[in-house]
Structure 1
Amino acid sequence: MNLTLPPPTLEHLCDLAVTITAPVEVGLTPAGFRRMIPITGGTVTGPRVNGKVLAGGADFQLILAGGTQAHLDARYVIELDDGSRVFVQNTALRVASLENSQRIMNGQPVNPDEVYFRCQPKLEATAPQWAWLSESQFIGNGRRAPDGVFMSFYRVC
């Protein structure tokens, strides 16, 4: 008997363009090098979800592996076009060469093809019509730019 189930499919949920400001360098802790990147806003556009990223969130980063790995934990709120709000907790892994990692940390552009950036957003909806966001799994990919972060979220079907 074959116990392997078919792979899930992906449904494009939305694209995010998140604006940020200068990082707050926490420094070297026993766990690794920590940074906090304030989130100042952004846009959400897509076939299933549209709205804006509210200011006030942040991306908490733990830099490991000699600077080549960034373990990310971003928390922010999306306000949908109908006024409903969605809490987002997005964990991610970004892996790049030491040179590209340093360029990212210094706010310089890098070739996104040379960076592994994948995420697992968890969404918590406040309105009944958006309950399916809280009842689904999502994955995504991202690209870090000097002035922001660009991500695409997909529902795992």
Structure 2
Amino acid sequence: MIKISVLEYLKKMMTGTLKNHVTSMKYPTAISKTLKMNIIEIDHGKATVEIAADHEIHGNQQGTVHGGLLCELADAAIGTAHSTIIGENESFTSLEFKINFFRPVWKDSLKAIAKPVQSGKTITVYNCEIKSTDGKTIALATSTVMTLRGDKAIGR
């Protein structure tokens, strides 16, 4: 097995060139597989995650796509973005997550674009914009993420 960085691993995963490669994080994640989310763009501290949202599968009682799905999509993009900037023996946790919903969705391919607003040694704040295929903003999430080191990173 060849151990590589998360960023390198995700780039290889996206291009189908993974062979005997491993990384410190688990990709694709179980929740991403369950919800059929895909990473479509990746860079240092940035990630775009896509989902085919459909009210028939992901609907709420009003008949639109559930806001919880939008939260998960944004959280997945933010977590993926952050996993590209942490070190080998580090992990991370969300300290805060907030989302504003602007438009309902019934059926669309949604993209969550996450990038840092402020990146420090321990605390990073992200914005994540969820966009529809016509480029309209569906929701905007912000999250504060803390990088864990040493004993705090073990088993996470």
**Same-fold status (TM-score > 0.5):** no
| More strand, by proportion | 1
In proportion to residue count, which structure has more helix? Answer: 2
